[in-house]
A and B are shown apart, each in its own frame.
Chain A
Amino acid sequence: MDNLKQSSNPETEELTGAEIFTRCLVEEGATTVFGYPGGAVLHIYDELHKQKEVDHILVRHEQGAAHAAEGFAKSTGKVGVVLVTSGPGATNAVTGIADAYMDSVPLVVFTGQVRTALIGNDAFQEVDTVGITRPCVKHNILVKKVEDLPLAIKRAFHIAGTGRPGPVVVDIPKDVTEQSMVFSYPQDPDMRSYQPTIDGHAGQIKRAAKLIAKAERPIIYSGGGVISSNAHEELTEFTRLTGFPITNTLMGLGAYPGTDPQFIQMLGMHGSYEANMAMHHSDVLIAVGARFDDRITGRLDGFCPYAKVIHIDVDPSSISKNFRAHVPVVGDARKVLRALTDELRDGKYTIPDVSAWWGQIGEWAKKDSFAYQQDMDGEIKPQYVLDQLYKQTDGDAFVTSDVGQHQMWVAQLYKFTQPRRWINSGGLGTMGFGLPAAMGVQLAHPDAQVCCVTGEASIQMCIQELSTCRQYGLPIKIINLNNRYMGMVRQWQDFFYDSRYAMSYMDALPDFVKLAESYGHVGMKIEKPKDVEPALREILSLKDRLVFADFVTDPRENVFPMIAPGAAHNEMILS
């Protein structure tokens, strides 16, 4: 508490906890809050009502608030802010908090709590929020008195946004918001136990450079950490300097231009043949801000059997967790890539000639593993819709997605050339993410083209947010690839359960056109391949309206290529 006294903002007037709350948000520059009111946070809502600096976006379900804040955070790099009430408000937000934890999204989630005197009494709308969220937050804090509130908020923003980002929950009992004190905002989070390592170890960077200089079959494998640390320019410079092939994870797409010839597409379970084969045969693997997730590695004992691994990550626990790193470099991706590039330019090293390796990769790439056939007289192929979406948006839209086949097809076919344009739920795989995330993106970028690619199953998990979109006039373009199945579940049932479609069909679907219209939006249904192109042109031209475009697609289409669970990179199913 010492540094409270040294704060630069001395005042003598006493403020309530609720007033202090809004003042702290302003101090943090957190002027967009996604939330939903309730008993425990009414003092705070009353304060929000009285002021103009903080905008509050009213969602229709607290899960939507958390995902919207994620969309806001992922597309801007700022910390997303959520405000919900105690009990069900908090538990509804948990899915979004867990999603943010898995994908390292900086969020501060404020949850109301019952009065301190009632805590532990099974009071109305009481849950142990700190206990429930503990396994899926970077940190959480129960504020027991108003004097602790400013520092708790300062720390929450600091922890959420630095190191490996993540969600922080601040649980505020109602009486704390009515107690008062002389407010000053601490300048320093003052934490002896939290000091992320930012600069890479110079000796490790030299070891990495030596290994790179001796590589014959190198590959760069980069993930979401590059985007979190805004290291895309450094990654591009490093990749171009070395001339090495680069593949991105699902979360890393856009960190390196998807249209560049050195980019050999996404890797992993539904990654390209060339990316996975190059991983398998590589002798030096340069992993940057990626965590060797099971959807990337496949069977671990068959993963990259010939490679020496350089692993750059700000989170030491990501290194050698799943796969042993030979040269671990703990640090911020941006700083480490800058230092590694400078080291390689120093003249002590020769960048290896990898033209033979490129020749081999070129052979693999001939498989054209993301190819599909659109019969213009047949059913609409989902890939065709996304191909057209890519072309008509010049690859420049913000695209959010839900989870399943459509998500993989966007990742394969939409060539992102900038970071923070591809917003999806990778780690937790949360159906229902896409629409609320798109709201956060659109609010952060009011004039941008924001598309939510979804399916008829996913969209129904947070469809209530169509109402929020109406209230705030968010002109999101919903591209619903409607195949009447939970497509990815159906695909696994085809492959691994002899096509017994246990509960994977979508019966009793709503008329999405009428549904969209009932919320005050534009609805469209597209059933023929020849209509896809003109329909998309019309959809994208409706600048001020949300359009729900229901594309009736081929129900039998599967995502290829695929590495079956338990298989290795060189054991892909191609069709």
Chain B
Amino acid sequence: MRRILAVLLENEAGSLSRVANLFSARGINIESLAVTPTPDETLSRMTIVTFGDDRVLEQITKQLHKLVDVVTVVDMTGQNHVEREMALIKLRLRDEGCVDDLQRVNKVYRGRIADVSALCYTSEVVGTSEEIDAYLAAMAEHEVVEVVRSGPLGIARGEQMLSIRQNE
């Protein structure tokens, strides 16, 4: 089962590798991981997507907590949350029909063209991971030469917030 975790941790050298190490040491794959400092610069926030049953998730959550640098861990899978991923997609143009298709698909998925050259168009699209999958499927007949995806970011809906004191 797909899981999405939100983690607050000390913004220190090595914190990221501790988390990455933990997953590999326990034989669990990280599907995606997005990490940046929060407005409070002493903290970083991670969104981790992984796969596992309840037992695996319970264990990985506990192990994350056990890391001295980790302040808060929340499994957002079961919670009402907003998820967004961004992708940059480079197409090689074969004919004019290509651009028409691109604009049509961009309209459906709220994509936009971020860069143009004589031979290639790069479009950006933001949505859930499924929407980006669908966008790519819609462009499948064209020559997609490069795709880069951020991995999802997640945030709880409504008034719920990820805070330092979440787990106390």
Residues of A at the B interface (CB closer than 8 Å) are 130-131, 134-135, 138-140, 142, 159, 191-195, 315-317, 319-321
Contact = CB atoms under 8 A, between A and B. Distances in A.
Nearest to B24: A135
A321 B59 contact: yes
Interface in B54-77: 55, 58-59, 62-63, 65-66, 68-71
Nearest to B25: A135
A131 B17 contact: yes
A73 B68 CA distance: 22
Contacts of B18: 134
Nearest to B168: A195
Interface of B: 9-10, 13-14, 17-18, 21, 25, 55, 58-59, 62-63, 65-66, 68-71, 164, 168
A142 B164 contact: no
A320 B59 CA distance: 8
A316 B71 CA distance: 15
Given A193-B70, A316-B65, A142 B13 contact: yes
- Of B13, B25, B58, B70, the most chain A CB neighbours within 10 A belong to B58
Contacts of A193: 9-10, 68-71
Given A193-B70, A194-B68, A316-B62, 12 more contacts: A135-B21, A135-B25, A142-B14, A191-B68, A192-B71, A193-B69, A315-B66, A316-B65, A317-B63, A317-B65, A320-B58, A321-B59
A354 to B, nearest CB: 32
Contacts of B14: 130, 134, 140, 142
Contacts of B70: 193
Contacts of A138: 68
17 contacts: A134-B14, A134-B18, A134-B21, A135-B21, A139-B68, A140-B14, A193-B68, A193-B71, A315-B66, A316-B62, A316-B65, A316-B66, A317-B59, A317-B62, A319-B62, A320-B55, A321-B59
- Of A191, A316, A319, the most chain B CB neighbours within 10 A belong to A316
B51 to A, nearest CB: 19
Contacts of A317: 59, 62-63, 65-66
A317 B25 CA distance: 15
Contacts of B10: 193
A319 B65 CA distance: 14
A121 to B, nearest CB: 17
Nearest to B69: A193
Contacts of A139: 68
A518 B47 CA distance: 61
Contacts of B13: 142
B11 to A, nearest CB: 11
Contacts of A192: 71, 164
A134 B68 contact: no
A423 to B, nearest CB: 25
Contacts of A315: 66
A134 B66 contact: no
Nearest to B68: A139
Contacts of A321: 59, 62
A134 B17 contact: yes
A27 to B, nearest CB: 21
Nearest to B42: A192
A142 B168 CA distance: 28
B86 to A, nearest CB: 29
Contacts of B62: 316-317, 319, 321
A421 B47 CA distance: 46
Contacts of B69: 193
A321 B168 CA distance: 22
Contacts of A195: 168
A155 B69 CA distance: 12
A523 to B, nearest CB: 44
A349 to B, nearest CB: 30
A315 B67 CA distance: 12
